[in-house]
Amino acid sequence: PAKDLAAPFNTGYMSLSAIRRTMTHQKEQTESIDRILDAAEAEFGKYGMNGIDIASISRRAGVSSQLVYHYFSNKNNLYAETLFRLTETFFSHYATLFITDKTPIESVHHFAYHFSAFFLEHPGMGRLVLDQVLREDPGPRRDLRADPRMRSVFAGLDSKIEEGVSAGIFKANVTVDRLFFITFVNTVGYTTLTDFVARMHFEKDEVCGSHDIRLEVAEAVVGSVINHGHVACPQLHRDG
């Protein structure tokens, strides 16, 4: 992981000018790490893990390879940090969007809609994951640092899911983790494969009838979690 830049300094042993120099240095470090992660997201997303090396990332970031190794040690760590930052960015994005007065079904639809919207804004994210799947890479694994943040952000959604399960609206095995997985699979499929499948086998209208991938994902996710023996799938608002 990137080295901690927030280590406190003892003002009793530092002059004001030294403190300012330290703060400037920390700001420069943070900016360098952000540039490296921006470059890594673009390079990994475009060429995959095997298609790039630290040198290509450092060139894109405008820093030395030595600096990349200093902060991240190796390419696997850099890849993991790139995904972690994207995950954190999504959590921060979604935390501002949750609406408490929605029904359980509307809440699931709303989550899936905005999850896929985030992927569309960060197209390299799906490619990063697919690259690892296709190579059956044994390296990067779930980053447990994201779990507390995920629980906090999705607390309201979790209560809506429990409400839906208790009322028989959702299948009994639906949880936030399962919803996240179902939404992720649908999103990656739609955002990375729609154009390819349409070119190879169908007209695009047949593959993505609404012309809005966000709605296609949201409605597919609702259809996956709803208890069809209990309730018919409702007509949802088309604005997500």
**What are the pLDDT digits (tens) for 45-101?**
888 788 889 999 999 999 999 999 988 999 888 988 888 888 888 888 777 777 778
CA atoms 125, 127, 130, 136: torsion sign: negative
Q: Which of 179, 166, 170 is nearest to 227 (CA)?
A: 170
Q: Which of 46, 52, 124 is nearest to 82 (CA)?
A: 124
The token pair at 214 is 């966000």
Share of the chain above pLDDT 70, in %: 69
Look at residue 226 and give its three-state secondary structure: strand
Q: For all residues of the chain together, what is the average pLDDT?
A: 77
The reported pLDDT for the residue numbered 2 is 53
Average pLDDT over residues 232-238: 52
User: Using CA atoms, how far apart are residues 208 and 190, in angstroms rounded to an integer?
Assistant: 8
Over 60: is that where the pLDDT of 211 sits? Answer: yes
Q: Which of 8-17, 20-29, 39-48, 229-238 has the lowest mean pLDDT?
A: 8-17
The reported pLDDT for the residue numbered 170 is 95
Give a three-class secondary structure readout of 81-113: HHHHHHHHHHHHHHHCCCCCCCCHHHHHHHHHH
Residue 106 pLDDT class (50, 70, 90 cuts): very high
- pLDDT tens digits, 107-157: 999 999 998 888 888 877 777 776 666 665 555 555 667 777 777 878 888
The reported pLDDT for the residue numbered 173 is 93
Over 50: is that where the pLDDT of 181 sits? Answer: yes
User: Using CA atoms, how far apart are residues 90 and 1, in angstroms rounded to an integer?
Assistant: 19
User: Using CA atoms, how far apart are residues 37 and 195, in angstroms rounded to an integer?
Assistant: 28
Residue 84: exposure state from Cβ atoms within 10 A (0-12, 13-18, ≥19): middle
The reported pLDDT for the residue numbered 180 is 87
Pair 123, 191: CB distance under 8 Å: yes
DSSP one-letter string for 34-92: HHHHHHHHHHHHHH-TTT--HHHHHHHHTS-HHHHHHHHSSHHHHHHHHHHHHHHHHHH
The reported pLDDT for the residue numbered 104 is 93
